[in-house]
Chains A and B, each alone.
Chain A
């Protein structure tokens, strides 16, 4: 109990003191997870909409695979990226292992099925009447997809919130491909693991609290945008 109280005070102190190392770790966490989710959204939203709107052979199988991958353990995503980037892997010449880029890559792999799966569900839930209305008003294929995405924007924001939450709180993938290197690839979750192992529970809890505050702020902004659309 003492450790928890100590951790809470420590978190406030670190934030008020503007500790440069803590702020560096915070910004790296934000940069890695934010970039991974942004890139995942760029790919997964249009692809998810395409899969949801087009009936083709194997469509249901693909949707099942995507839904399954939504539960992909981060450490498996990390292992996949590790094997690609390691010295014997096909992408070894890029020398990206143990860099923030590798961490973004791993979280991107993890976020894509989450964003795509939720996009598919959201687009499939759009009433057929909305599609018919847009078509009858003269929308071409591209304009139709845009109007459907616009109608599902609450679902799309939910996809981004969910994938960002999963990315910023995961530890398995980034530890594996980032290596938790101080001042270079150390992020909040990795630091929590490190300080726990060192027995510095106060510091570990403080960083955990900061992680939660950060996730709360980001989610509050996204939820505000989402709620603005529903009222």
Chain B
């Protein structure tokens, strides 16, 4: 059976080490899948490979039946316009908050009237309406992360990749971002893969969760199973907070 996102035998090697080893994983349409594991487990590498920002050393990724390996430049562009990626450290362009959020729409040739309407609605969703004319480089970490989230989701990607979207943020910003993610799930019904080392966040947001350790997928199952009845001893140790890393 082919999954909406189908990963088979995926490995990624950097100069002297394997970041990912032999990953098999399937994610279904409209599913929220959580990637948990300590830092350096390979979560970010997996997201970068799915986003076609890097090429795998071995194995294949299929997204909606399209193989992501060896795509032409045009093919890769078409795929990237269907996949959104929110990075752990949000990068804002040196322009206004409004122009940052509008960027994805502008490069897709959206009409100005529609851009204004959609950007304003998106800014309102994450409480940034009053900052729309501000230089994005002057935003706080939490504000920048909220901006990065709506800049990615405003173009309505079919698959949304979130890499530690609330890392290093205060509880108020974490709540705002989680609320926005939940809104997106509810209103747009997107497929979401969220990497987090915050187990409670994975429990709150994900339908299924995969536990990664040292570049390997140790276990993937329904969120409840992972947190209440993990099969692997290492998963149990991690979700109980006993794993030292």
The interface of chain A, by Cβ under 8 A from chain B, is 127, 129-130, 132-133, 135-141, 143, 147, 150-151, 153, 229
Nearest A residue (CB) for B76: A135
Given A132-B53, A137-B152, A140-B77 in contact, is the A229-B94 Cβ separation under 8 Å?
yes
6 further interface pairs, Cβ-Cβ under 8 Å (given A129-B89, A138-B107): A127-B91, A132-B53, A136-B85, A137-B152, A139-B107, A153-B94
Q: A38 to B96, alpha carbons, bound, how many Å?
A: 28
> What is the CB-to-nearest-CB distance from A222 to chain B, in angstroms, rounded to a whole number?
17
Confirm or deny: B186 has a beta carbon within 8 angstroms of a beta carbon on chain A: no
Contact indicator A130/B91 (Cβ below 8 Å):
yes
Contact indicator A136/B107 (Cβ below 8 Å):
no
Given A137-B152, A141-B73 in contact, is the A132-B94 Cβ separation under 8 Å?
no
Report chain B residues within 8 Å CB of A139. Answer: 107
Contact indicator B81/A138 (Cβ below 8 Å):
yes
21 A–B contacts from the bound complex (CB under 8 Å): A127-B91, A129-B87, A130-B93, A132-B53, A132-B87, A133-B91, A133-B93, A136-B51, A136-B83, A136-B85, A137-B103, A137-B104, A137-B107, A138-B77, A138-B108, A140-B107, A141-B73, A147-B103, A150-B93, A150-B94, A153-B94
Contact indicator A136/B84 (Cβ below 8 Å):
yes
Q: A135 to B87, alpha carbons, bound, how many Å?
A: 12
Contact indicator A138/B155 (Cβ below 8 Å):
yes
Chain B residues numbered 137-176 whose CB sits less than 8 Å from any CB in chain A: 151-152, 155
Contact indicator A129/B91 (Cβ below 8 Å):
yes
Given A137-B152, A138-B80, A143-B107 in contact, is the A150-B95 Cβ separation under 8 Å?
yes
The interface of chain B, by Cβ under 8 A from chain A, is 51, 53, 73, 77, 80-81, 83-85, 87, 89, 91, 93-95, 103-104, 107-108, 151-152, 155
Report chain A residues within 8 Å CB of B83. Answer: 136
Q: A145 to B51, alpha carbons, bound, how many Å?
A: 20
> What is the CB-to-nearest-CB distance from B238 to chain A, in angstroms, rounded to a whole number?
28
Q: A163 to B68, alpha carbons, bound, how many Å?
A: 45
Q: A132 to B87, alpha carbons, bound, how many Å?
A: 9
Given A137-B151, A141-B73 in contact, is the A151-B107 Cβ separation under 8 Å?
no
Q: A140 to B53, alpha carbons, bound, how many Å?
A: 13
Report chain A residues within 8 Å CB of B93. Answer: 130, 133, 147, 150-151
Contact indicator A138/B104 (Cβ below 8 Å):
yes
Q: A58 to B84, alpha carbons, bound, how many Å?
A: 35
Question: In the complex, which of the residues B53, B73, B89, B108 contacts A136, with contact meaning CB atoms closer than 8 Å?
Answer: B53
Report chain A residues within 8 Å CB of B151. Answer: 137
Report chain A residues within 8 Å CB of B104. Answer: 137-138
Nearest B residue (CB) for A132: B53
Q: A140 to B84, alpha carbons, bound, how many Å?
A: 15
Question: In the complex, which of the residues B94, B95, B155 contacts A137, with contact meaning CB atoms closer than 8 Å?
Answer: B155
Nearest B residue (CB) for A152: B94
Q: A25 to B151, alpha carbons, bound, how many Å?
A: 52
> What is the CB-to-nearest-CB distance from A152 to chain B, in angstroms, rounded to a whole number?
9
Q: A135 to B95, alpha carbons, bound, how many Å?
A: 17
Contact indicator B107/A135 (Cβ below 8 Å):
no
Report chain A residues within 8 Å CB of B53. Answer: 132, 135-136
Q: A154 to B187, alpha carbons, bound, how many Å?
A: 41
Q: A69 to B195, alpha carbons, bound, how many Å?
A: 48
Q: A139 to B105, alpha carbons, bound, how many Å?
A: 10
Nearest A residue (CB) for B138: A231
Pairs A-B, 10 closest by C-beta atoms? A136-B85, A138-B81, A133-B91, A137-B104, A129-B91, A143-B107, A138-B80, A130-B91, A132-B53, A140-B77
Q: A138 to B103, alpha carbons, bound, how many Å?
A: 10
Report chain B residues within 8 Å CB of A136. Answer: 51, 53, 80, 83-85, 87, 152
Nearest A residue (CB) for B89: A129
Q: A137 to B155, alpha carbons, bound, how many Å?
A: 8
Contact indicator B87/A133 (Cβ below 8 Å):
yes
> What is the CB-to-nearest-CB distance from B80 to chain A, in angstroms, rounded to a whole number?
5
Report chain B residues within 8 Å CB of A138. Answer: 77, 80-81, 104, 107-108, 155
